[in-house]
Amino acid sequence: MSYDWIRKYQTVSRLTGFNVADVLEKSFDRNVFMENDGTAAVIAERLFGVGKRLNNFVYLFLDTMIGGGVVYDGDVLRGTNSNAGGLALMRIDSPGQGSLL
């Protein structure tokens, strides 16, 4: 399974290009499935939360980004870059430079 989107969308620049899924699969000899935090959260809500009884919903949360996930017609939407529910990184201005919160 290819996880190229993980290597492209890093907020920690020195980890860009590092594919944690490959490392974990080789280290533990197990299949590894990776999701971004918003998609993982909406999957959990769909399986264990209020989403169990809903076929269409959006799950939003505020963390290092405004994120979330989307369930449509009972299926989790991932989008082209596996970030269908992600809205934006939160940029903050600190004295002398901008940074990501």
Structural domains counted in the chain: 2
Note if 37 is an active site residue.
Answer: yes
Same domain assignment for residues 28 and 63:
no
pLDDT at 28 over 80: yes
pTM over 0.75: no
What percent of the chain has a predicted confidence (pLDDT) above 90?
A: 35
pLDDT at 1 over 50: no
Same domain assignment for residues 18 and 66:
no
* Host domain of residue 19: 1-34
pLDDT at 65 over 80: no
**29 CB-side CA count, 13 A:** 0
pLDDT at 32 over 80: yes
Same domain assignment for residues 30 and 54:
no
Helix (H) or strand (E) run with residue 45 in it:
helix 37-48
Name the residue with higher pLDDT: 81 or 72. Answer: 72
Same domain assignment for residues 70 and 90:
yes
Residue among 22, 37, 73, 75 flagged as catalytic:
37
Same domain assignment for residues 5 and 52:
no
